[in-house]
Chains A and B, each alone.
Chain A
Amino acid sequence: MRRRRGRVAWWLVFLIGVLYFVLPLYATFVFSLKAKPAFSAYADALSDPLFAQSLGYSMVVGIVTIFASLALIVPTAYWVQLRVPRARSLVEFVTLLPFVIPAVVLVFGLIRVYSRPPLPFTHTDLGSTFLLVAGYVVLSLPYMYRAVDAGLRAIDIRSLTEAAQSMGAGWITIILRIILPNLRVALLSGAFLTLAIVVGEFTIASFLARPAFGPYLNLLSGYEVYQPAAVALISFGLTWLAMIAIAVIGRGTRVRVQIGGAR
């Protein structure tokens, strides 16, 4: 009996949440339809070839950023939790810095440092894109670190590591084949957050002169009234679809490593 009553309560919580999230989107949608003729705002938005190009570029950069960020954060968070807990405060402080650095300051700083020898990244296209990815890894640090940390706390990394080591596994094997598979939910969360940041960001992309989606949105005429609303909803929907794709792909092999008997 308690379960059923409990379940009703959770349904209520869920529905209130849905209402809060959906209403503003619905209101935006209603507004975007006021363009005459109806849906012309959407037709205009989708017929522009730059829309697909820039969105594609941002998605690719997003995926690269996710992998780069994971490659940096997962070993670090793992190491902090396992071996160097004293470093935790310092590492977390560093991961929170991106919140308090204005994006313009970060991008101008990157340009100043990396537009001249010895590391003239801005002189080439590839270098500029590399700089963009680096900037986005910085922006995603807080979220990625917290997500991975939450995931690591939920599993017993000590026992897992000991068991793996006792079977002769090296560090790389441990991380790739033992730790990562157990972090599935955390990794997906981090990936979603990072992708959203990358697709929506425009300050860094535009000052680095990259053909990303954010700057494209900005170039949309400032005097358009309905089209930006339509584009915002479209990009919301497309990013959501991308995340669903990531979730489905990530569902793949779910390896649960059991240590000993029942937990």
Chain B
Amino acid sequence: MKRDLTRWAGLLATSAIIFAACSSGGGAATSAPSASASSAPSESAAASESASASASAGAVGGPSEELIAAAKTEGNLTTIALPHDWCNYGEVLDSFKTKYGIAVNELDPLVGSGDEIEAIKSNAGNPGPQNPDVVDVGFAFGEANKDLFLPYKVSTWDTIPEAAKSADGNWYGDYYGVMSFVTNTEAVANPPKDWADLTKPEYKNQVALDGDPRTSNQAIQAIYASGLGNGGSLDNAQPGLDFWGNIVKAGNFVPVDANPATIVSGATPIALQWSYNGLASRDANPQIDVTIPATGRFGGVYVQAINKTGPHPNAAKLWMEHLYSDEGQLLWLKGYCNPVRYEDLVKRNAVPADLAAKLPDTTGAVFPTPAQLESATKLITEGWDAATGVKTIATPAP
């Protein structure tokens, strides 16, 4: 048995998430408002492009009775790549099952976006439980594969920021997090506070990435993010690569794929992960500390989409309605993921105070555009070997 364990940890970039609070930032990317700030009116966007399923099941829309009935007739939903502790998906799934009585068939939670797309392609026309109805993939995968998706605009469509969704309704952003330092305080008495700290000699053999930097988005974006704190910018990821070269040279890098077991056991006491991953670990293991770097705050987003050839299209639509309802968005918030409709929720005072308090302060986080992310990804995946000294010329075996 060869366990194919693709680390599910990538975040693909989204376009700049222009939350209304920041008014017009005209540059290539603007920063998101702080988590607790209340914002100006959400951007208007297309007023008449409302959800295909008629709305008005409540103050913020909701699925129509016909949709619910049609979905219940289908009776099943097949999902893929949804770990239960990622953004509290466990509770999201349970609440969906309880509320609508639809069974959910969960495929492998640990596969990457590439495998999700391949699963859609291979299963075209298959009515069996192997065919995923809905996917949660990185942004680049959304636009690149839009022909595979069924356009659908949820009833709360208008409250999703423009830049986070496809105009045609093929894909739509769901949540985001910020790159952070996840530290095991039992092994590391003094957790790093900012990027520059990572090269300090006290952290020898302690710093790890979550995933292979040539294949995992979480790892790639950690490198991209580190550039921000070291003279780089969203347009230029090279300083990030150079910085990691320094970390390796300083002897601080431990080349192990970081996960909760390796963090807690002390094998990778300092890991770079998205804030929601670290915070979820911290709930179960209080010795874990999650720190957002003081400078160079970097955010990343995922997108949802419905499989055009999935066997349960109505259940899929209902699932989307559930995710984008206040209830669904708040469940994600409970998992420490910033839901994409956060600004709207805050504006309507729909966020419970204790929940809002749980989110870390992410003021000043920046989000790359798809073009910026694509070029940074290319740079990093191709330059990693050279920057960190992994030999690329085949040498004869000693």
Contacts and interface: CB of A to CB of B under 8 A. Distances in A.
Are A and B in contact, CB atoms below 8 Å, in the complex?
A: yes
Interface of A: 31, 102-104, 108-109, 111-112, 115-116, 120, 122-124, 128, 139, 196-197, 200-203, 206-209, 214-215, 218-219, 221-226, 228-229
Interface string B79-123: 000011110001000000000000001111110000100110011
B272 interface: no
21 contacts: A102-B2, A103-B2, A108-B119, A111-B126, A120-B126, A201-B1, A202-B3, A203-B3, A203-B108, A206-B108, A207-B130, A209-B78, A209-B107, A209-B130, A215-B108, A218-B108, A222-B109, A224-B260, A224-B284, A225-B281, A225-B285
A230 to B, nearest CB: 11
A116 B126 contact: yes
A31 to B, nearest CB: 6
Nearest to B263: A225
Given A108-B119, A203-B3, A209-B78, A222 B126 contact: no
B115 to A, nearest CB: 6
A225 B285 CA distance: 9
Given A104-B118, A218-B108, A196 B1 contact: yes
B259 A222 contact: yes
Contacts of A206: 107-108
Given A222-B259, A229-B261, A202 B108 contact: yes
A123 B108 contact: no
B4 interface: yes
Contact of A104 (B1, B86, B115): B115
A128 B128 contact: yes
A207 B261 CA distance: 26
A221 B84 contact: yes
Interface in B264-311: 264-265, 277, 280-281, 284-285
Contacts of A139: 1
The prevalent SS among residues of A at the interface is helix
B110 A122 contact: no
Contacts of B265: 31, 225
A223 B122 contact: no
A192 to B, nearest CB: 13
Contacts of A31: 261, 265
Given A108-B122, A201-B1, 12 more contacts: A103-B2, A116-B126, A122-B128, A200-B1, A209-B107, A209-B128, A218-B110, A222-B83, A222-B84, A223-B85, A225-B264, A225-B265
A109 B110 CA distance: 20
Contacts of B277: 223
Contact of A219 (B84, B86, B122, B128): B84
Contacts of B118: 104, 108
Contacts of A104: 4, 115, 118
Interface in B314-367: none
A222 B122 contact: no
A209 B122 CA distance: 14
Given A104-B4, A218-B110, A115 B260 contact: no
Contacts of A209: 78, 105, 107, 128-130
Given A200-B1, A222-B259, A229-B261, A208 B83 contact: no
A112 B85 contact: no
Contacts of B125: 115-116
Nearest to B105: A209
B231 interface: no
A202 B83 CA distance: 15
Contacts of B105: 209
A42 B362 CA distance: 38
Contacts of A123: 126-128
Nearest to B119: A207
Contacts of A103: 2, 4
Interface in B113-149: 115, 118-119, 122-123, 125-131
A196 B1 CA distance: 8
Contact of A223 (B115, B130, B284): B284
Contacts of B259: 222
A260 B352 CA distance: 89
B94 to A, nearest CB: 13
B126 A207 contact: no
Interface string B154-193: 0000000000000000000000000000000000000000
A20 to B, nearest CB: 20
Most buried by B among A108, A124, A228: A108
B130 A115 contact: yes
A197 B84 CA distance: 26
B106 A219 contact: yes
Nearest to A128: B128
Given A201-B1, A203-B3, A219-B109, A225 B130 contact: no
Contacts of B1: 139, 196-197, 200-202, 214
A203 B111 CA distance: 9
Interface in B32-89: 78, 83-86
Interface string B241-254: 00000000000000
Given A104-B4, A104-B115, A108-B118, A207 B281 contact: no
Interface in B1-52: 1-4, 8
Nearest to B126: A115
Nearest to B8: A222
Contacts of B106: 219
Contacts of B261: 31, 225-226, 228-229
Contacts of B109: 218-219, 222
Contacts of A109: 122
A224 B280 CA distance: 10
Contacts of B78: 209
Given A104-B118, A196-B1, A223-B284, A207 B128 contact: no
A222 B4 contact: no
